[in-house]
Amino acid sequence: MKSTFFTFLTLFLLFACKKESSDKLSDWQIISENVQFKDEANTFQLKSGKFNYHIANAKLPFQKVILLNASLVGYFTELGLEDKIIGISSPEYIFSEKVHQLMKEGKIQDVGNEQKYNVEKIIALKPDAIFTNYIASFDNTYDLIKKNGIEIIFLDEYLEQNPLEKSKYLLVFGKLLGEEKKSILRFNEIKSSYDSLKTLAKKSEEKPLVLANEMYGNQWFLPGGNTNLAQFIADANAVYINAKNTESKAVPMSFEEVFTKSKNAEFWVNVGNHQSKKELLQINPNYDKMNVFNHEKLYTVIGKEQGKSNDYFESGVVRADLILKDYVKIFHPELLPNYNLTYMKELK
């Protein structure tokens, strides 16, 4: 009898602990494994990688921010929040016309680049916050800025391998910049569009074999099977040549290895930012040995490029649905007969 009692007591405590743990977890809005946030009485808590932020609600929403990465601009353009940007680095890599117009009007300042940020200007602008990817070698610069009372928030969206989780960073910016409802609406629209395209792609009985990326020097950095690109190709109902690989990063391979794996490839995507197949061949004559180069279709990511800027790396970071739509159009053109590619362009 005593044994039975202790058994029930143990089970009760186990379930109680699990429930408590579940309740605590449910307090957090999960963006991805790397990012989550929650509201408390007087504080907004944000976890981003190894960084934890406790921001007083009285400081929100932020009104003046600086962006040190072009990839973060896409979230602001998606939410119509360009007017809250007062400083930006490396403007030559920014695609947004509105951001460039605001720079001409003097409302957004150039604060340098990754080689040398203009720390004095950054401090003088007195932003409510700075958003950037974390780079360990810049710790001294970050510390100097923090000592002047400026909040630096590190958001490494480029680490996300799930396309929609990258889009979901919209919710973080919505909370911090006073557009929570709009950010939820836009993310839900992007997710719905993405899911519909994924379902549409499955209607095709064809699943073409796909090669990606190109050689740099003597190595071909082929994205692993758990990367963002591999996910897009799978969701577009195609077979990626490196899908069985378990890496979530690019895997260096020799030309011979890729040549063998891609023998039957019908498409070659993300072929850098080249303007022609002739240009590609000048970089590496070995491509001429590949069947996919000579007889199949190649696509670059220069569909929305202007100068040094490329919208694939800006709005494309947020619009996972439009990137997927491009891939569906490429692999199964009959499913989207009236659609013109947004970010991709055929290389001829």
Tell me the pLDDT tens digit for each residue of 269-289: 999 889 999 999 999 999 999
What is the per-residue pLDDT across 52-61, written as a single tens digit (0 to 9) for each?
999 999 999 9
pLDDT surpassing 80 at residue 13: no
Cα–Cα distance, 319 to 190 (Å, whole number): 7
Flag whether pLDDT at 6 surpasses 60. Answer: no
Is residue 254 a contact partner of residue 192, using CB atoms and an 8 Å limit?
Answer: no
The alpha carbon of residue 257 and the mean position of all alpha carbons in its chain are separated, in whole angstroms, by 28
Whether 55 contacts 175, CB under 8 Å:
no
Average pLDDT over residues 77-105: 98
| Cβ 281 vs Cβ 263: under 8 Å | no
Q: pLDDT of 132-179, one tens digit each?
A: 999 999 999 999 999 999 999 999 999 999 999 999 999 999 999 999
Q: What contacts 102, CB < 8 A, 6 or more positions away?
A: 82, 83, 85, 108
- 225: burial class by Cβ within 10 Å (0-12, 13-18, 19+)? buried
Tell me the sheet residues that pair with 117.
112
- pLDDT in the model for residue 26: 57
Report, as an integer, the average pLDDT of 310-338. 98
pLDDT band at residue 23 under the 50/70/90 scheme: very low
Of 15-24, 141-150, 192-201, 252-261, the one with minimum mean pLDDT is 15-24
* Percent of the chain surpassing pLDDT 90: 90
Does position 18 have pLDDT exceeding 70, yes or no?
no
Q: Could you tell me which of 204, 158, 210 has the C-alpha nearest to residue 337?
A: 204
Contacts 24+ apart (CB under 8 A), 225-231: 226/161, 227/161, 228/160, 228/161, 228/162, 228/163, 228/166, 229/270, 231/161, 231/162, 231/163
Are 328 and 236 spatial neighbours (Cβ–Cβ below 8 Å)?
Answer: yes
Burial of 239 (0-12, 13-18, 19+ CB in 10 A): middle
pLDDT band (50, 70, 90) for residue 41: confident
pLDDT tens per residue across span 319-331: 999 999 999 999 9
Tokens of 194: 């993405």
Mean residue pLDDT across the chain: 93
Percentage of the residues of the chain whose pLDDT score is greater than 70: 93
CB 131 within 8 A of CB 68: yes
- Tell me what pLDDT residue 80 has: 98
